[in-house]
């Protein structure tokens, strides 16, 4: 039987941990430490520093042990040393007095403490990095789809943005990319940010995998209520098998397609060119507009409508919610009362007094137990927050049934 021992962090990592702890409350030093970019690569500035500080403190707290019969364990002493020296910022002499340590003992225990916290942090970072990439992509897609504006799609502007984002990459790979003239495109509603990232990603993969000197022409057309975005590839020596696998058998592609309910097809034309087609269906599901600034509450309702005829579109800002209500004409509006910038009751009155939103049924969902007030102000239904799945779906179905 083989036992996998933890991989010790390199000395450079330990030095970085020690320096970060020594400057735990120094913004500029903490921001410039190389360890910060490893801990929070997706953040910048103050947000990165705050995240790094929080994770360092959490890691130190993991060392906190239990005393046995009033006698501190070695782990407890290691924790106390780090906590006093770095979290509380006590000078070394005061730490020596409180822990009853000689200076020699302090530096010996200090080295053990740095090694211990470095190992914990090293294991934590390696665990995150070794997780399946589909998990992180999926969580990001869920976050992006919740925050993305769901609105009418300007296809030409979308494709032009994708070309602009990839212009340096295309130049590096010696690939020519241009946009064909398009006419007669119908209006489509879509998650703007998610679709934009999808098309940018697809174009980047095509540029990377085609041969130098190739040309890629982007166009779009509407057929059978589907929007098809086409990438026509002209050139020699393109490995179409590798490109097809990259675009269709890939964790990132799978999450993009699942989020948008889209599909990708790669075919070869008679003249030897290749055609990559991204097909986006017109949404047939009933849209439920959720106006709530609590992402956890929105995520709960998204789970509730999984495998149902409903689709959640959310707005965490009342102004954005009112705009979406007018543009999307959702089947339902789910309205929280505790909203930023505007009182939820006022928002309800605005929705029920505007001619474009007045016919849309509003379900008030709030921690405030005041259904009588909600109904008197025009709400069509009321649920206490957080609702259970059955009550939520029954409220939607009850109104749908009454409409038919």
pLDDT of residue 227: 87
How far is 379 from 371, CA to CA, in rounded Å?
9
250: CB partners within 8 A, 6+ apart: none
How far is 93 from 34, CA to CA, in rounded Å?
30
C-alpha angle with apex 387: 386 to 392, nearest 5 degrees? 145
**SS3 label, residue 117:** helix
Report residue 252 as tokens.
């990132």
The sign of the torsion formed by the CA atoms of 260, 265, 266, 269 equals negative
Q: Pick from 224, 206, 223: which is nearest to 215 by CA? A: 206
pLDDT of residue 285: 65
How far is 87 from 101, CA to CA, in rounded Å?
19
pLDDT of residue 130: 44
How far is 104 from 110, CA to CA, in rounded Å?
10
CA atoms within a 13 Å half-sphere pointing along the CA-CB vector of 339:
25
Query: 313: which strand partners?
Result: 289
| Burial per residue of 245-262, b for 16 or more beta-carbon CB atoms within 10 angstroms, e otherwise | ebbeebebbebbbebbeb
CB atoms within 10 A of CB 327: 14
pLDDT of residue 171: 93
Tell me, what DSSP letter sits at residue 33? S
In order of their start, the domains of the chain are 11-130 (no CATH), 142-281 (3.30.565.10), 286-403 (3.40.50.2300)
**DSSP string for residues in 176-231:** EEEE-----PPP-EEEHHHHHHHHHHHHHHHHHHSPTT-EEEEEEEEETTEEEEEE
Element spanning 354, H or E:
none
CA distances from 315 to 19, 96, 147, 295, 334 (A): 42, 54, 7, 10, 10
Which of the residues in the chain have pLDDT under 70? Answer: 1-8, 42, 65-75, 127-151, 183-189, 191, 283-285, 307, 399-404
């Amino acid at each position: 039987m083989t036992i996998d021992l933890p991989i010790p962090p390199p000395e450079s990592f330990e030095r970085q941990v020690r320096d970060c702890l020594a400057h735990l409350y120094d913004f500029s030093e903490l921001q410039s430490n190389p360890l910060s970019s490893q801990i929070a690569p997706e953040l910048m500035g103050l947000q990165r520093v705050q995240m790094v500080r929080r994770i360092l403190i959490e890691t130190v707290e993991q060392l906190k042990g239990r005393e046995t019969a009033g006698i501190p364990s070695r782990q407890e002493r290691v924790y106390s040393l780090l906590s006093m020296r770095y979290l509380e910022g006590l000078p070394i002499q005061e730490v020596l007095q409180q822990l009853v340590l000689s200076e020699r003992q302090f530096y010996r225990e200090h080295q053990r403490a740095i090694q211990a916290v470095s190992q914990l942090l090293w294991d934590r970072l390696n665990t995150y990095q070794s997780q399946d990439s589909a998990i992180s992509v999926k969580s990001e897609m869920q976050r992006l789809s919740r925050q993305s504006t769901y609105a009418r799609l300007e296809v030409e502007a979308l494709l032009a943005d994708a070309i602009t984002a990839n212009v340096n990459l295309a130049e590096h790979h010696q690939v020519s990319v241009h946009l064909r003239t398009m006419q007669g495109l119908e209006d489509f509603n879509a998650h703007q940010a998610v679709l934009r990232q999808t098309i940018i990603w697809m174009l980047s993969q095509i540029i990377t995998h085609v041969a130098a000197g190739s040309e890629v022409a982007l166009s779009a057309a509407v057929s059978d209520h589907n929007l098809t975005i086409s990438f026509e590839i002209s050139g020699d020596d393109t490995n179409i098998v590798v490109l097809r696998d990259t675009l269709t058998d890939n964790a990132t592609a799978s999450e993009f397609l699942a989020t948008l309910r889209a599909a990708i097809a790669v075919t070869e034309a008679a003249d030897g060119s290749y055609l990559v087609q991204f097909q986006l269906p017109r949404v047939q599901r009933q849209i439920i507009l959720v106006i709530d600034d609590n992402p956890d509450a929105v995520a709960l309702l998204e789970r509730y409508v999984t495998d149902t005829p409903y689709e959640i579109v959310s707005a965490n800002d009342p102004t954005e919610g009112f705009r979406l209500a007018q543009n999307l004409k959702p089947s339902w509006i789910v309205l929280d009362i505790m909203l930023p910038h505007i009182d939820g009751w006022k928002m309800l009155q605005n929705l029920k007094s505007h001619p474009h939103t007045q016919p849309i049924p509003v379900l008030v969902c709030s921690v405030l137990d005041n259904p009588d007030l909600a109904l008197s102000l025009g709400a069509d239904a009321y649920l206490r927050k957080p609702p259970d799945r059955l009550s939520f779906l029954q409220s939607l179905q009850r109104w749908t049934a009454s409409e038919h």
